[in-house]
Amino acid sequence: MPATPHALLVALVGALTLSGSPTRTKAPVAVSSRAARATHHVGNAGRVTRIDGREVWPAGATIELDGPIDVAAGGTLVIEAGTRVEGRVGAYIVVSRDGTIEARGTLNEPIQLTCTATAKYPGCWGGVIVQGYARINSGTPTSPASPTRSPAGDCLEIADPISGTPRYGGCNDADDSGILRYMRIEYAERGLHLAGVGSGTEVHDVQANRTRADGVLITGGAVDVRNLFLTANGTGLRWTGGWRGRAQSIAVQQDILRFAAGIVGQNGTTTSATAADALPRSEPTLFNITLIAQSVPANPTHATARALVLERGTAGSIRNLFFYAPHIALDLSGLSTCAQLTSGTLTLRNVLTAGATSLGEGLIPGACNTTEAALLASATDNNIVLPGANGLLVSENDLFLPDLRPITGSALALAPAATPPAGGFFAGGVFVGAVPPIITAGTIPWFSGWTNPAPPPAPIPDGVIRGVVRSPFRGLLAGVRVTDETTGATTLTTSNGSYVLSLPAGTALLDVSQVPSGCPVPPTRAGAVQPNDTTILDLTVDCAPLPGTERVSAGDGFTCGIADQGTFCWGENTFGQLGNGTTSASLLPAEVTTSFSSLSAGARHVCGREPNGIVRCWGDGAQGQLGDGAGVNRLSPAPGPGGPYQLVTSGGAHSCALAIDGAAFCWGANGDGQLGNGTTATALSPVAVGGGRIFATLAAGRNHTCALDLSGAAWCWGDNTQGQLGDGSSTDRTLPVAVLGNERFGALAGGGDAHTCATGATGVVRCWGANAAGQLGNGSTTSSTTPVIVQTTFALSQVSLGDNHSCGITSESVSVCWGLNGDGQIGDGFTAQRLTPTAANASARFNKLTGGLGFTCAVTFGAVTGEDNVIVFSRRSLLCWGRNSSGQFGRGSTTSALTPTAAATGLTFP
């Protein structure tokens, strides 16, 4: 059955790292009388409010959440009995793994968490997320440790995909995140998410009522839960990611008009075969469950509405389970799940199924030794199937006045029951179902008094969410797919980058896919959909600049960049390549006299493109590489190549540009045919590249040039002594020749001394040419005259070449480099050459990078939420690593660095 999107966690918790500078709360003033309920506003709309001390939400008060709440490291949130918490759209509570929550409701004074809307609907606020240091089975083995909460070890953790900040997971299965008791969570997107929570956390007597997704989601960890009353949720209970805790007395009562499943058990957090067998495996022990999951055709998910789903390799022990009139009782799927059933690590015993429309749809042939129907009727497991369900419960399926007690003397009351393990967590429970039978008059169910009924809410009109998808460097993006994870609604952006979706009121979880090459898929974005209203949510895709349109570019001993403050260069300046009117080197950024929209640095010269497409160059011009017809050096940008051009790219002592119509022009040194005009004569002004082809992009190497045509096929010309043209020979070419292999590429990398790389649509990179230092990344030092695949599991969204090294940015925004490393230009902290991509030793994530002679620089990736919850990009910093002997880092020194270090002092980048 369709799974509730795991990306909801990304959308909600990810906002903590996308929301700019957090604010901190001031504790509400305690009220003296519970009869006079006081209202306190906490948080700020669209911004995360941090709690990093002890904060008390007092009994008898109403706390209105105007925005997200983060109980941060060292923080403790105390919610006293009888407190009412109301969240606005976009508000939620996250307890970080170094924070603590103490929600101490009582039977007579439960804690209430709902939304502020007068007409409430599922998803009108976010819900509660608790994170801990217990073990999980997905993430990265970054050995998290806490001085008080978790030991160091080779354990997995989930980290934010942008900032790398840890969220949950660790090595302490006994971790204590606090107390949650006698608490009801209503009308949330997801009720309660326990993520990597340990067994030291106390969770009991919790109701999740009318949530849009899961009532309770448990991801990994070893937390124990008791007395969960899960009413009319999208899915009642879901576990995944390696949960190994215990549960007793779980009552799930679904709305026949709206639900997807009653309980879903999973091991893997994704559908991959590897995730299905990830360790530690989900293997909870559950006793005493009542599962009411009737469905009617009016339910949008009727065809797949199942009571119990066991999938993705979960194990577990389930005892004393009662199915009341389910549409489909059991769905057990997946080869790994069947393997758990066959081996005995997944068992269902003492199960009574009454009045099922279907017991199941049959297991995967050959994977299991039984069927779902046979399993539910297995006498050896004390499982019983009854044709009808009448006369078993006091009030049957009543969402207004639920009473799930078995009638005395009924088949349910007399069903054979397993005895829970003695001592410790389990208590009593020698009966089938979540509630003991009526024995004496006056007894009441454990959920009576502190929970709410779940009557169907009034119909809520749909809302509209619309906006545009754009890239800061490529503008509005057409043909991009925008999908709401919750409903599956999808659309393509129009020619002007706009999209429109009509969605149910609540939280939309928007995924962006089918993005152009060189554009990493952004994280899921959450947007509030208001009933009968329109929400504007613009989506930003952080595409790398196209080759030749870079805003930071490295040359031989110097760097230039377009910052928020203007255009600057720094480092070596013998030939005026800093563009500031002098020939004096500068260890700090020096402002260029003209502003540009893109830059490309050659060996000792730079060309810049103005917003109107006009190209100007400066620096070494002795071989005509400035294109101004003079063949002299220029200390500042000079009129020359003209334009308008789409992009400009600079090589060792030549430059090329792409005209608006796709025709290519080059100028400068041409001894190896790098101008592509059929000659080896130097050109002081632009000459047309021969062959009459139309190109989509250009990239210049030291003494060669390559291009992609409109089909994505690669063409190269110029110096070919190391096979850098990729045509299978080592013969120089004065006209474009096709790169062998019939590959189609989406992006091209230049800048290399004698090698070239290009990126395919799936992030696979192929390189060709010189390889003495491993710069082709294929695990060898053998040069290649045809493209070879870079050996990496990373999908690379951008590649840039230094002299004898190569670098790329992964889909996780990590910098990886390979090749020569004598100056530390790989960034891994060592100087040994790397024959395959190796990650830079940095916690930062990067958006774009540039390779120079013995060094690398990259701009950090960052984003914040601005007004109206629209993501805007924060001002970013430049980090550099490798050789700094000429001050090419721009930090006021000539000290080199083996790992990324702050550069371009005083500058920030858009």
- pLDDT tens per residue across span 805-830: 999 988 778 899 999 999 999 999 99
Q: Determine the Cα angle at 802 with ends 700 and 908, to 5°.
A: 95
| Dihedral sign of CA atoms 426, 432, 438, 439 in order | negative
Given a cut of 70, whether residue 160 has pLDDT beyond it is: no
| Cβ atoms within 10 Å, residue 97 | 28
pLDDT in tens, 702-736: 999 999 998 889 999 999 999 999 999 999 999 99
Residue 38, pLDDT score: 67
* Residue 836: burial class (beta carbons within 10 Å; 0-12, 13-18, 19+): middle
CA separation for the pair 742, 732 (Å, rounded): 21
Q: Determine the Cα angle at 111 with ends 106 and 113, to 5°.
A: 160
Mention every residue, 6+ apart, whose C-beta is less than 8 A from residue 61. 28, 30, 31, 37, 38, 39, 40, 83, 84
Given a cut of 80, whether residue 898 has pLDDT beyond it is: yes
Mean pLDDT of 595-621: 94
Given a cut of 80, whether residue 869 has pLDDT beyond it is: no
Mean pLDDT of 461-477: 82
Retrieve residue 454's tokens.
């779940």
DSSP state of 564: T
Residue 520, pLDDT score: 72
Per mean pLDDT, which of 63-77, 570-584, 834-848 is the most reliable?
Answer: 570-584
CA separation for the pair 65, 62 (Å, rounded): 10
Residue 33, pLDDT score: 30
Asked if 724 and 739 count as a contact pair (C-beta separation under 8 A), the reply is no
CA separation for the pair 201, 893 (Å, rounded): 51
Share of the chain above pLDDT 70, in %: 90
Using DSSP's 3-state secondary structure scheme, residue 342 falls into helix
Given a cut of 80, whether residue 548 has pLDDT beyond it is: no
Mean pLDDT of 837-849: 86
Arithmetic mean of pLDDT over the chain: 88
Higher pLDDT, 739 or 876: 739
Q: What is the 3-state secondary structure (H, E, C) of 420-450?
A: CCCCCCCCCCCCCCCCCCCCCCCCCCCCCCC
Mean pLDDT of 387-412: 88
Amino acid 304 reads T
Residue 501, pLDDT score: 96
Residue 32, pLDDT score: 28
Q: Which pLDDT band, with edges at 50, 70 and 90, does 95 fall under? A: very high
pLDDT in tens, 41-91: 776 665 678 899 999 999 989 999 988 999 998 999 999 999 999 998 889
Residue 400, pLDDT score: 82
| Dihedral sign of CA atoms 259, 264, 269, 270 in order | negative
Mean pLDDT of 392-408: 86
CA separation for the pair 759, 785 (Å, rounded): 17
Asked if 506 and 123 count as a contact pair (C-beta separation under 8 A), the reply is yes
The residue ranges of DSSP E strands in 680-822, in sequence order, are: 683-688, 695-700, 704-709, 714-718, 733-738, 747-749, 755-759, 765-769, 784-789, 796-801, 805-810, 815-819
pLDDT in tens, 754-772: 999 998 867 789 999 999 9
Q: Which pLDDT band, with edges at 50, 70 and 90, does 640 fall under? A: confident
Given a cut of 90, whether residue 425 has pLDDT beyond it is: yes
Residue 235, pLDDT score: 97
Mean pLDDT of 502-515: 87
CA separation for the pair 840, 95 (Å, rounded): 31
DSSP state of 364: P
Asked if 115 and 86 count as a contact pair (C-beta separation under 8 A), the reply is yes
Q: Which pLDDT band, with edges at 50, 70 and 90, does 16 fall under? A: very low
Mean pLDDT of 653-672: 95
pLDDT in tens, 249-284: 999 999 998 999 999 999 999 888 889 999 999 999
Share of the chain above pLDDT 90, in %: 66
CA separation for the pair 758, 740 (Å, rounded): 13
